[in-house]
Amino acid sequence: MNTVFCRGCAKEIGETTRFCPGCGASQVLDGILVRKKNVIYASYQNVPWFRQRWFAVICCLLFSPALLFILFTGEIYLEKQGKVEPIPKYSKVILLAVGVISIIRITIVIFK
Ligand SMILES: [Zn+2]
């Protein structure tokens, strides 16, 4: 079963769960279940640590495979004027490029 993050507490719950077993928050927004790719977070503290911008930067520098994994499974979030927003598309493209280049570079070093 696929999992999504609770809109209330960001705990991982089943994709078709209507109410979070942890905090009881409704997962239905305008009649549509909120899916993993466009989770709406009430505050930056609710964003899982691996989807926060600082972690993306660390991944960029140290763990490019992890960065690529995170980019392909959802969004990375930042806090802007008190609101939680996914990073813009162009930032995602830049991160992807850096990740791919790093992996190629690492592969060359390992298999030379
Ligand atoms: Zn919850």
5 versus 61: which is more confidently predicted?
5
Residues 86 and 103 reside in one and the same domain: yes
Residues 33 and 53 reside in one and the same domain: no
Residues 54 and 107 reside in one and the same domain: yes
Q: Domain count of the chain? A: 2
Query: Ligand 1 centre from 39 Cα, in Å?
Result: 13
Q: What is the pLDDT of residue 31?
A: 45
Q: Chain-centre distance of CA 40, in angstroms?
A: 11
Residues 87 and 70 reside in one and the same domain: yes
Rounded mean pLDDT, 21-44: 67
Rounded mean pLDDT, 30-54: 66
Which residue type is seen at 70?
Answer: I
Is the pTM value of this prediction over 0.85? no
Six token digits for residue 109 = 């070093």
Q: Which domain holds residue 106?
A: 43-112
Q: How far apart are CA 57 and CA 102, in angstroms?
A: 13
Query: Ligand 1 centre from 25 Cα, in Å?
Result: 6
DSSP state of 64: H
Residues 56 and 90 reside in one and the same domain: yes
Ion ligand 1: residue ranges with CB closer than 5 A: 6, 8-9, 11, 20, 22-23, 25
